[in-house]
Amino acid sequence: MLLETSTLSYAHPGQRAISFPELSVDAGEALLVLGRSGSGKTTLLNLLAGLLTPLSGEVRLGGEKLSSLSGQAMDLFRGKNIGIVFQKPHLIAALNVRQNLELAHFFGKKKGQDTTQLLAELGIEGKANSSVLTLSEGEAQRVSIARALANSPKLILADEPTSSLDDENTEKVIQLLKAQAAKIGAALVIVTHDQRVKNQIPNFIEVKAA
């Protein structure tokens, strides 16, 4: 199994601990994380990304136990192996579209996917040299997906990637993520409360606050 967790829990300061259901995702597979607002979906995603350290249990990616990696080693491991699509695109305004993608190569210290081809696959090749400030919301979301894929990560994590999109673009974005995960053999985990996504990815777990 490429990604797996066991007895994972986390407590935010001053909050009750959240216990997460076990999850496992193989290369090329997709999993949805569903749950009500405040149930802990983003917290789980941050644990899977090694951005938070669990209170108990562990996350293993490609056999590597994330909590055994120190700060700097974890940052490098994440840059190489984990692509994250945040709820809001978080693009660097001073850089154009292509440069935003190349930044991922820089942080991952690897050459990664060809940016021209990647942008073409996502249907935004015409925007390569555009300022990110001139993009529509849907285009910016696709650039943030391209950036997450730029290093051909083993794991793609997406936090509510469709919450601000209409039905047509929701379907397109999920298809894109699935197709890209299958192409590079990555595990795909999508956190959402968007029930529309269930039609496209039947495999899911549900996070429930205690």
Ligand X SMILES: Nc1ncnc2c1ncn2[C@@H]1O[C@H](COP(=O)(O)OP(=O)(O)OP(=O)(O)O)[C@@H](O)[C@H]1O
Task: Please choose, from the candidates 7, 59, 15, the residue with its C-alpha nearest in 3D space to the C-alpha of residue 39.
Answer: 15
Nearest approach in angstroms of CB 199 to ligand X is 20
DSSP symbol at 66:
G
From the list 3, 25, 31, 40, which residue makes contact with ligand X (rule: CB under 6 A)? Answer: 40
- The structure tokens listed for 129 are 């040299």
Q: Between residues 105 and 193, which has the closer beta carbon with respect to ligand X? A: 193
Helical (H) or strand (E) element with 179? helix 167-184
Residue 152 touches ligand X, criterion: CB under 6 A: no
Nearest approach in angstroms of CB 105 to ligand X is 29
Q: Answer for the pair 116, 187: CB distance below 8 angstroms, yes or no.
A: no
From the list 32, 35, 155, 174, which residue makes contact with ligand X (rule: CB under 6 A)? Answer: 35
CA atoms within 13 A on the CB side of 159: 19
Task: Please choose, from the candidates 11, 18, 8, 14, the residue with its C-alpha nearest in 3D space to the C-alpha of residue 208.
Answer: 18
Please count the other Cβ atoms lying within 10 Å of the Cβ belonging to residue 102: 16
Q: Between residues 33 and 119, which has the closer beta carbon with respect to ligand X? A: 33
* Angstrom distance (rounded) from CA 58 to CA 108: 23
From the list 21, 38, 62, 185, which residue makes contact with ligand X (rule: CB under 6 A)? Answer: 38
Residue 192 touches ligand X, criterion: CB under 6 A: no
Q: Between residues 39 and 152, which has the closer beta carbon with respect to ligand X? A: 39
Find the part of the chain contacting ligand X (CB under 6 A) among 11-19, 74-82, 140-148, 171-179.
11-19
One-letter amino acid identity for 186? A
Q: Between residues 107 and 204, which has the closer beta carbon with respect to ligand X? A: 204
DSSP symbol at 34:
E
One-letter amino acid identity for 61? L
Find the part of the chain contacting ligand X (CB under 6 A) among 38-46, 78-86, 95-103, 194-202.
38-46
From the list 24, 193, 194, 200, which residue makes contact with ligand X (rule: CB under 6 A)? Answer: 193
Residue 39 touches ligand X, criterion: CB under 6 A: yes
Residue 43 touches ligand X, criterion: CB under 6 A: yes
* Angstrom distance (rounded) from CA 2 to CA 92: 31
One-letter amino acid identity for 109? K
Nearest approach in angstroms of CB 61 to ligand X is 20
**Contact positions vs ligand X (CB under 6 A):** 12-13, 15, 35, 37-43, 193
